[in-house]
């Protein structure tokens, strides 16, 4: 499954960075639409002169990979890119859907590549993907904060609870404030609940699926780091090493979980 896992992650990186490597958002959107077209060409056995597209084509031809998951992933990125600059998610459920579309899909496809058909493994993958996606959005908040101090990935319902929501002419915005760690905590708590649900399923997950679900480990590491730094996403220590811990300690955690068949 390793080749497939690398291919899906490479595809995810290409689509995730599309809006960040260009100065004009329209150019980024064009890159995403190009990748959507690439998925169609890959499944139509058409050659695309791009290394990630070529390895995707190889993986798709070797394994029974659902086109639906690749399309769902890139379409989620396109929908996010099409959002108005001032638009924010209304509820944390919207963020969960985005996290599943962009993160859980990678795990679903890797399970497919390994021929692993398990409802329990799929269920665990769903929870791990949602947790990973939510936590990564939180960690990336400093990168996404606009020059005007607007925060894009805190849902309006939570921002309102924490006193961070402002309304102007029917438009809602989340602004910087001392209550931001409280809002981050509320979103992180949803991610933590997904991690706990996934971990509760570990004893019932087929052994061959455990390596696929190991992304639950970095998600837990990031969750623990956020908690340790009081959910201050602007704390520079979160960016040290791997999600705030040394690379060696991170590798030890991965090996320990893999040996114990946990994630």
Instruction: With cut-offs at 50, 70 and 90, classify the pLDDT of residue 148.
Output: low
What was the pLDDT predicted at 77? 95
DSSP codes, 94-163 = HHHHHHIIIIIHHHHHHHHHTT---HHHHHHHHHHHHHHHHHHHHHTHHHH--TT-B-SSS-HHHHHHTT
Are both 191 and 257 inside the same structural domain? yes
Residue ending a domain, choose from 82, 102, 121 = 82
d(CA 211, CA 225): 23
Listed as own residue / partner, the contacts of 252-256 with beta carbons closer than 8 Å and 24 or more positions apart are 253/217, 253/221, 254/214, 254/217
What was the pLDDT predicted at 236? 94
Q: Is the pLDDT of residue 123 over 70?
A: yes
d(CA 36, CA 42): 10
Mean pLDDT across 11-22: 91
Residue ending a domain, choose from 29, 63, 82 = 82
Instruction: With cut-offs at 50, 70 and 90, classify the pLDDT of residue 143.
Output: confident
Are both 75 and 149 inside the same structural domain? no
For 244, the 3-state DSSP assignment is coil
Instruction: With cut-offs at 50, 70 and 90, classify the pLDDT of residue 166.
Output: confident
Are both 221 and 262 inside the same structural domain? yes
Looking at per-residue confidence, does 148 or 25 come out higher? 25
Number of domains forming the structure of the chain: 2
pLDDT digits (tens, 9 = 90+) for 95-105: 999 999 999 99
What was the pLDDT predicted at 88? 86
Are both 20 and 99 inside the same structural domain? no
What was the pLDDT predicted at 176? 86
Provide the percentage of residues in the chain whose pLDDT is more than 70.
97
Mean pLDDT across 78-104: 90
Instruction: With cut-offs at 50, 70 and 90, classify the pLDDT of residue 64.
Output: confident
Are both 28 and 73 inside the same structural domain? yes
Instruction: With cut-offs at 50, 70 and 90, classify the pLDDT of residue 85.
Output: low
Q: Is the pLDDT of residue 23 over 90?
A: no
Domain that holds residue 2: 1-82
For 210, the 3-state DSSP assignment is coil
Q: Is the pLDDT of residue 256 over 70?
A: yes
Are both 219 and 133 inside the same structural domain? yes
- What global pTM score does this model have? 0.92
Q: Is the pLDDT of residue 257 over 80?
A: yes
Are both 120 and 230 inside the same structural domain? yes
What was the pLDDT predicted at 147? 59
Which backbone phi and psi does 165 adopt, to 5 degrees? Answer: -90, 130
Q: Is the pLDDT of residue 168 over 80?
A: no
Looking at per-residue confidence, does 205 or 171 come out higher? 205
d(CA 184, CA 141): 10
pLDDT digits (tens, 9 = 90+) for 185-237: 999 999 999 999 999 999 999 999 999 999 999 999 999 999 999 999 999 99
Q: Which candidate, 170, 166, 131, places its Cα nearest to that of 151?
A: 166
Whether the Cβ atoms of residue 119 and residue 201 lie closer than 8 Å to each other: no
Q: Is the pLDDT of residue 141 over 70?
A: yes
């Amino acid at each position: 499954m390793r080749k497939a896992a690398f291919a899906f992650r490479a595809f995810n990186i290409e689509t995730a960075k599309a809006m960040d490597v260009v100065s004009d958002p329209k150019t980024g959107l064009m890159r995403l639409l190009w990748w959507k077209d690439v998925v169609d060409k890959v499944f139509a056995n058409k050659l695309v002169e791009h290394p990630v597209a070529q390895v995707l084509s190889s993986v798709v031809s070797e394994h029974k990979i659902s086109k639906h998951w690749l399309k769902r992933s890139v379409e989620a990125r396109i929908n996010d890119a099409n959002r108005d600059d001032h638009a924010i998610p209304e509820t944390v459920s919207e963020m969960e859907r985005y996290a599943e579309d962009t993160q859980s899909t990678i795990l679903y496809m890797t399970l497919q590549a390994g021929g692993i058909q398990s409802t329990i493994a799929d269920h665990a993958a769903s929870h791990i993907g949602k947790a990973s996606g939510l936590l990564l959005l939180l960690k990336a908040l400093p990168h996404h904060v606009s020059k005007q101090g607007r925060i894009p990935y805190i849902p309006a319902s939570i921002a309102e609870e924490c006193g961070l929501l402002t309304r102007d002419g029917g438009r809602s915005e989340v602004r910087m404030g001392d209550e931001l760690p409280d809002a981050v905590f509320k979103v992180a708590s949803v991610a933590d609940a997904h991690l706990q649900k996934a971990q509760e399923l570990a004893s019932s997950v087929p052994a061959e699926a455990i390596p696929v679900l190991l992304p639950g480990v970095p998600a837990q590491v990031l969750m623990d780091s956020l908690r340790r730094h009081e959910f201050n996403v602007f704390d520079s220590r979160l960016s040290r090493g791997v999600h705030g811990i040394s690379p060696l300690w991170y590798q030890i955690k991965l090996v320990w979980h893999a040996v114990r068949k946990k994630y």
